[in-house]
Chain A
Amino acid sequence: MDLVLQLLFTGIGIGAVYALVALGFVLIFRATNVVNFAQGEFSMVAAYLMVVFAVDLGWPYWLSFLLALAGMALLGVIFNLGVYYPLRHRTFLPVIIATIGASILMANSVLAIYGPQPQVLQGWFETPGIQLGPVYLDSQYLLIIAVTVVMVIFNYWFFEHTMLGKKLQATSQDKEMASLLGISVSTMIMITFIYSAVLGGLAGILVAPVLFVSIQMGSTIALKAFAATIIGGFGDVAGAIIGGLALGVIETFGAAYISVPYKDGFAFLVLVLFLIFRPQGIFGERVAEKA
């Protein structure tokens, strides 16, 4: 039982990271009908910004955190204007390819500026974790889980109970109708990119103390988050969260009870099974609507 609890905690912790990044995938997909393959690089860039502010410049952690998120908001604006906006009237394919190109550009820009050395970023708390009975709770994973819960609640409140959230929803559901109702579609899409970049960045900053800060960290997380998005149902916020958490738990238990080397295989096996038997994912109605 101790083993199960320990694995469950770790699985949920890892899954929460996938969920945060998956949320960014979903929001952009809903707003633009495009998969943003640079979502993982948002995480990586934010983690490096934290290293610059908190480690290199030695600024307080909270200030570095806020500045890194502000930097991500700016990156969201640049990304929207530079990658999505010029191609907004084209089919989805050129935009997807542009996001892949942007992800390569971001990774190599960071490589050129900061070098290939993996960096260490301390966690938010001095204490690395707490022992709760037989289970060790890593403080960073606790923080990740807490932030994910807060973000889920915030998302619900924002999209269901604020005018801006409703405008964003309206834009994602029918751009022409939203435009006829006086909603500035391009502004809404800009806000979506900003929000997604900040979400991706948040995931990167949270996971950096656990996985270290490296050029590859974004792509590793994004691949799993993408799988989580499909499992949850592409286009569904709740699906992204459930998919991410499920993936984290499945791969952790799969590694513990079946095979460690094939840990990644379990995540993608689940993905393949979903694609065969339930391609719309767990909460997949919206995908059917869009198709």
Chain B
Amino acid sequence: MKVTRRDFAAGLAVGITAPYLISNARAQAATIKIGMCAPVTGPAAESGGYAIKGAKLALEAVNKAGGILGKQAELIIEDDQTTNPGIVLAFSKLAAQSDIVAFLGSIRSTQVHAMAPDVLKLGKPVMIGGTDPNLTHMGNQWLFRFRPNDSYSGRVIADYGVNTLGKKKWAVLHSTDAFGTAGGKALTSALEKLGAPPVLDQGYANQSQDFTPVVLAIKQSGADILGSYFTFENDLGIFARQLRQLGVNIPWVGSPSIVNITALKLAGPALYGTYGVADYAEDSSEGSKAFGKAYRDVVKVAPDNQSSWPYDAVTVLAAAINKAGSIDPTKIREAILAIKKFPGAEGEYNFDQNGDGLHGYNIVKNDKGNIVFDKHIEFND
């Protein structure tokens, strides 16, 4: 067969354009991908499992409702190993996939700090659950928070302890990681403003095996109330048991970890009667109730903030992309920041220009192992 110049030119044109057309067609048919860094292994692997289940539950609902921009959404999960190097590696793996439009980061502030420079470099939206106030105040426009930050939790803990429980001699106990340090500072600052500076401000290193020196320090300080910021549930469990064993029975208002499922299981009766600030409380709103029911039906365990914030992150992100009508990162960012009065599992989302979606906390009480909603305190600043 003789190949003419015209045949050759046509063949060449098809050869050059075919891969593009095929990949374009594939792209048209492809899903919208959302990356998620989650602790599949490491000390937070259990809560990581809850986070993944929460995100998947939201994804199912989004897909049932028509998906994102008319396509089905897909979650790509990478294990962050509950470590800072782990999340940097996990995020870099996800960031290398150019078709991922947005990401879910960590609930741990220290991990978000570790990945933040890479987030800034990549320039795509990352939903986070870390509550260190600095995370959304350090010039990184791509971080969007789906839990109230610790400036609010500190104020709520202080307000509840001083004004509702009437206690003024505070012992403040916090982890020395980014989350704990920021939380401890926020609580101390709020207490100072209320005229009740803490009599003890005590840090501890994560994964401590013994809290006897800490408990004795609390005992000796003469504190009549304890405020705490624990990062890991096993630390909280060990501390709670030793606190009670060594006869310290003062009221205790803790950060959200005090009411999460793992902590309740590990510490058991040692946490009875304690109070916690909880971004997620099942009875706090209609959105919270709806999420709680859906989660219980599927996962068969009680929901907590580990699962509620990724649920909200996926739901809000999908709504924002649909509203933006585009996967352009800047347009998604603008759409997220424009979200107001959006009912979520964690509460009503009103994003400010820093990327904070929530501005208040619930106070709950551990009533013999049952977490009972007390009240919600919202701030306008």
Contacts and interface: CB of A to CB of B under 8 A. Distances in A.
B109 to A, nearest CB: 17
Contact of B48 (A116, A129, A136): A116
B247 to A, nearest CB: 7
B203 A118 contact: no
A255 B234 contact: no
Contacts of A128: 241, 245
B209 A14 contact: yes
A7 B211 CA distance: 10
A33 to B, nearest CB: 30
B207 A220 contact: yes
A7 B212 contact: yes
A261 B209 contact: no
Contact of B245 (A138, A252, A255, A261): A138
A36 interface: no
Given A129-B245, A212-B238, A118 B233 contact: yes
Nearest to A219: B207
Contacts of B247: 136
Contact of A120 (B46, B48, B202, B266): B266
Interface string A217-258: 000110000000000000000000000000000001001100
Contacts of B40: 116
Max chain A C-beta neighbours (<10 A), residue from B204, B213, B214, B265:
B213
Interface string B258-302: 000010011010000000000000000000000000000000000
Interface in B215-273: 216-217, 220, 233-234, 237-238, 241, 245-247, 262, 265-266, 268
Interface string A165-198: 0000000000000000000000000000000000
A211 B238 contact: yes
Contacts of A129: 245
B176 A3 contact: no
Interface residues of B, number: 35
A263 B205 CA distance: 8
Interface in A233-291: 252, 255-256, 260-264
Contact of A212 (B48, B176, B217, B266): B266
B213 A214 contact: no
Contacts of A211: 209, 234, 238
A109 interface: no
Contacts of B238: 210-212
Given A6-B216, A118-B233, A256-B217, A216 B43 contact: yes
A117 interface: yes
B89 interface: no
B220 to A, nearest CB: 7
A10 B246 CA distance: 12
A111 interface: yes
A136 B245 contact: yes
Given A7-B216, A210-B238, A116 B49 contact: yes
B127 to A, nearest CB: 23
Contact of B207 (A10, A120, A216): A216
Given A260-B202, A260-B204, A263-B205, A118 B234 contact: yes
A116 B45 contact: yes
A117 B213 contact: no
Given A210-B238, A260-B202, A10 B176 contact: no
Interface in B9-66: 40-43, 45-46, 48-49
A211 B45 CA distance: 17
Contacts of B204: 260-261, 263
Given A118-B46, A136-B245, A212-B238, A264 B233 contact: no
A256 B216 contact: yes
B210 interface: yes
B208 interface: yes
A255 B214 CA distance: 8
B213 A256 contact: yes
B300 to A, nearest CB: 14
Interface in A106-151: 111, 115-118, 120, 128-129, 136, 138
B213 A7 contact: yes
B237 to A, nearest CB: 6
Given A116-B46, A117-B262, A118-B262, A6 B207 contact: no
Nearest to B202: A260
B46 A260 contact: no
A177 to B, nearest CB: 42
Nearest to B214: A260
Contacts of A263: 204-205, 208, 213
Given A116-B41, A260-B217, A212 B245 contact: no
Given A118-B46, A118-B234, A260-B217, 8 more contacts: A3-B216, A6-B216, A7-B213, A136-B245, A215-B45, A255-B213, A262-B205, A263-B208
21 contacts: A6-B246, A10-B210, A115-B45, A116-B46, A116-B48, A116-B49, A118-B233, A118-B234, A128-B245, A136-B245, A211-B209, A212-B234, A214-B43, A214-B234, A216-B43, A220-B209, A221-B209, A260-B204, A260-B205, A261-B176, A263-B213
Interface of B: 40-43, 45-46, 48-49, 176, 202-205, 207-210, 212-214, 216-217, 220, 233-234, 237-238, 241, 245-247, 262, 265-266, 268
Shortest Cβ-Cβ A-B pairs, 9 listed:
A116-B45, A256-B213, A255-B213, A10-B212, A117-B46, A261-B176, A261-B203, A261-B205, A116-B46
Interface of A: 3, 6-7, 10, 14, 111, 115-118, 120, 128-129, 136, 138, 210-212, 214-216, 220-221, 252, 255-256, 260-264
